[in-house]
Structure 1
């Protein structure tokens, strides 16, 4: 879902490097549907153990797509991919997070700190991501009316709903409480309603996060990871683990940072 966002902090780290068939710089066109890949990912409900969740992408025909080279080739090494999958598959995290009933944002922070103690950064991020996916709904009323409610971390926690800026603000707040590096990215997304656009957007319409793990920067998309809008403009909560630390060379097909 693309949505109007409040501009947040952007990450100066270059997450991706785009090159065309002639190894020359190529500008990514937001409205160019020919460069959009079909992404294979698992959709899992909040009470079902995730199965194998490879971070893969099926690209279009060779002669019509832009070749994308990841700037940080060491970020998705075998150890990281294994840690990511183990966190997603951890039943203990799922049952623990689902049992929480925090009455305040401070209480939620303490619960996350307690279960995250001594855990890897990947595990800590999954606990935050999973709680948000299980408890925060997309605010369709605000999105369609353009009358945006309180999108601070406190406001999103209190009302248990928000638009993309609210998801990103809440994610960053929880990371800040754990002392985990996290930034907010403003940009453009091929979300709900993208197919009906006639012109390129004149201002940013989406927000997501970037997090630092072991000196590498990764993306985090908690809004799309929590659910989606159906054809009746209704929100359906549906945990999609693909958007937990996805590969940037796949995300660029539908998420374009402002900077």
Structure 2
């Protein structure tokens, strides 16, 4: 997938996880920022299928390789390159921000392997939370404040969207629609194109062979438009490549095969 966090057992962006509670974090506040530092150097960000229509306007949407594919928004084509933010994490243009990135530094997680419920946790290494005079309080006494309730609801909605995304991917796998992707991009001045692999995409040839009754069902459920949003977004790969070159972040070696996700 994308660049791994410091701890390989933790999700992308997160360096540590601590359960939020009124005992230890009674005086904590949540601060706003216009700099998403956690996006710097991250070229592939997980995406839910419900975000496809908005995300497809800005990012190529692909699926990670492996047996459990995850939808990804490509914010760059090469490892360590994000063409949408500067070195401080400030967006260089107005663009849709994936929900996965917007929930940071919060996350719903099980506190133990046998726990039945998810608990609201946060990354204690983030400067978006902490004690101080600025920010919105996370607790009103022992009661979660409105800001905390809102983030909990956002994280719960994200988990539900994640489950629907997993079902979407399973439907694609059921019909054998996912294939290993490959995109060749010709850069002026090079005889050979740069070839990007290491991701999955929908096989359009197999999509054309899907039975009519299945397609009608997908159209009624809203799945079919999501498929086309993914396919149309792939044209943006060349635009992302051009932006990498313009920012001085493009591949400078001889054309070669590059893993995308």
TM-score by length of 1: 0.30
Relative to its length, the structure with more helix (as a share) is 1
Higher relative contact order (CA 8 A, sep 6+): 1
